[in-house]
Amino acid sequence: MKETFTIIGIGSPIVDAIALVEESFIAQVDGDKGGMVLVDAPTISGLIERLPQAATAAPGGSAGNTLFALARMGAATRFLGKTGNCPQGQFYRDRFAQLGGDSSRFKIGQVPNGRCLSLVTPDGERTMRTDLGAAMTLAPEEISAADFTGCQHAHIEGYLLFNEALMRRVLESAKEAGCSISLDLASFEVVNATKSILPELLKEYVDIIFANEEEASVYTGISDDYPAMAIQLAELCDIAAVKVGAHGSYVAHAGKVDKIEPMHAANVIDTTGAGDLWAAGFLYGWSLQRPLTECAHIGSILGAAVVQEQGSVLPEHIWQDILANI
């Protein structure tokens, strides 16, 4: 009997709270409009109490967005990250299990679950305030090859690079268990902060690298030449995918680069999660041994769908359309 291809995601299991607010509300929030700022739990709780209407809860986090989408597509999935011993942590684990994900690899911490409050103004811009909560307490000594037993591929969010010891333990454990590895660089701030260790880690451990144009540019020092960015990234690992939004994507492998045309998104509402769902589509195709250009095309379908929704969770009727056409 052929072994099921199981993908495990590693990252911060954060619950998103999405709230529609007016500009006047943002004016009363410390910090600039737009972007993401790390705050403590009382700050988020205070903001939630002041909301004019209840926020909508959804599972989030970079690797979380990717793995929840893969689970909904029918892939065999697991998740390695630390949730809180609280209702939000239970909500995250339950939602993953409801989609068919295997929740046995979650760690449970003694502090509340991580939360990200996304304040969405009428112009569609998101102002995010994040408390990493239990996710921040995951320690290297809690990770071993046993966490990856039964998995063939590990997908890691780049934010783990901020904790080099944890990232190294995750990479070493995944490889020891025989997994191939993909890494999503997550943000240009991550690349800027970890450029000194990235080349070694990519060459030693990573098989597939996902980057958007900003991340790829910061890493390579190349501006605007997307095929060159992809080729340079692929010198260190087997496959490099550079996602350029409305300009499509570029996938490099074995010294060759292909451009994949973008899917048209008629009504862009919110770009958060687009790269995470692109990675989900790519990994779905790749796990089925589809050609790399086809993998990227599936990624583009998911990316174009999610930017037309509020938040990173696609409605069921959209999923049914997607699954009927891939």
What are 111-157's pLDDT values in tens digits? 999 999 999 888 877 888 999 999 999 999 999 999 999 999 999 99
Domains of the chain: 6-13+60-112+133-324 (3.40.1190.20)
Ordered DSSP codes for 84-137: ESSHHHHHHHHHHHHTT-BGGG-EEESSPPPEEEEEE-TTS-EEEEEE-GGGGG
Amino acid at 195: K
Sign of CA dihedral 238, 240, 258, 294: positive
Distance between CA atoms of 139 and 238, rounded to whole angstroms? 29
Residue 272's contacts (CB-CB under 8 Å, 6 or more residues apart) are 118, 126, 311, 312
Instruction: Kindly tell me if the per-residue pLDDT of 223 is higher than 50.
Output: yes
Location of structure tokens 């098989």: 207
pLDDT band at 37 (very low <50, low <70, confident <90, very high): confident
pTM of the model: 0.93
Strand order of the sheet with strand 35-38? 35-38, 126-131, 115-120, 15-20, 56-59
Cα 287 versus chain centre, distance: 17
**Which tokens in the block code for residue 122?**
């009428």
Instruction: Kindly tell me if the per-residue pLDDT of 225 is higher than 70.
Output: yes
Mean pLDDT of 18-29: 92
Burial of 183 (0-12, 13-18, 19+ CB in 10 A): buried
SS3 (DSSP) at 29: coil
Mean pLDDT of 277-288: 97
Residue 55 per-residue DSSP state: P
- Summarised one tens digit per residue, pLDDT across range 151-198 is 999 999 999 999 999 999 999 999 999 999 999 998 888 899 999 999
Mean pLDDT of 24-51: 90
Mean pLDDT of 268-282: 89
Calculate what percentage of the chain has a pLDDT beyond 70. 99
Q: What are phi and psi of 22, to 5 degrees?
A: -85, 165
pLDDT band at 3 (very low <50, low <70, confident <90, very high): low
Distance between CA atoms of 17 and 88, rounded to whole angstroms? 11
Calculate what percentage of the chain has a pLDDT beyond 90. 81
Out of 37-41, 122-126, 243-247, 320-324, least confident range: 122-126
pLDDT at 1: 35
Instruction: Kindly tell me if the per-residue pLDDT of 36 is higher than 80.
Output: no
Distance between CA atoms of 67 and 60, rounded to whole angstroms? 10
pLDDT band at 272 (very low <50, low <70, confident <90, very high): confident
Most confidently modeled range among 24-38, 187-201, 203-217:
203-217
Q: What are phi and psi of 237, to 5 degrees?
A: -145, 170
Instruction: Judge contact between 201 and 227, C-beta under 8 A.
Output: no
pLDDT at 2: 47
